[in-house]
Amino acid sequence: MVSSAVLKLAILGLVRHALALPAAEAAAPEKRDNIDIYACTGENWTGSCYHLYDPVSTCYNLVGNGQGLAYKLNSFGPPAGASCQLFYDGACKDAIPIQNSGHSTIVNPGVGNLNSHANSIGSFYCNWSNW
């Protein structure tokens, strides 16, 4: 029979060993070949809403894609881990400054009201952050 003192020492040794193990790292967001953009024609995610699948690092031309969404979007949001730039033209050349900040990048959760830039988006370009 094992004495209680020996049993306590064995348990204490296991606890010390468990505490010395490194913590598991959090899993990074999955980075896919396409970025699922959520966009709506109305303010604050109202009106007609769409999932637009943009290939990573590719200009998504709203003017020429046949969906009829060019210059009709007012809410725009990329998923967590992605960032997008909006453009007035259909070729990702004339960047839209977001909410008068002078910046043209949108990150999650997105912008529910593009204010003076609503109905101005002709194209967008998205990428995974830090990729």
Within a domain: residue 117?
Answer: yes
DSSP for 64-104, written as a single string: SSSSS-TT---EEEPPTTEEEEEESSTTS-SBPPGGGSS--
Structural domain boundaries enclosing 94: 34-128
In the chain, the number of structural domains is 1
Residues ≥6 apart with Cβ < 8 Å to 113: 43, 44, 74, 75
| Contact of 84 with 106, CB cutoff 8 Å | yes
CATH of the domain at 87: 2.60.20.10
Within a domain: residue 11?
Answer: no
Within a domain: residue 10?
Answer: no
User: Is a pLDDT exceeding 60 seen at residue 63?
Assistant: yes
Within a domain: residue 67?
Answer: yes
Alpha-carbon distance 23 to 75, whole Å? 39
Residue 9's H or E segment, with its range, is helix 4-20
**Mean pLDDT within 71-79:** 94
| Contact of 99 with 68, CB cutoff 8 Å | no
Alpha-carbon distance 99 to 129, whole Å? 21
pLDDT, tens digit, 9 for 90 and up, residues 80-106: 999 999 999 999 998 888 765 556 689
Confidence at residue 47, expressed as pLDDT on a 0 to 100 scale:
96
Q: How many residues does the chain have?
A: 131
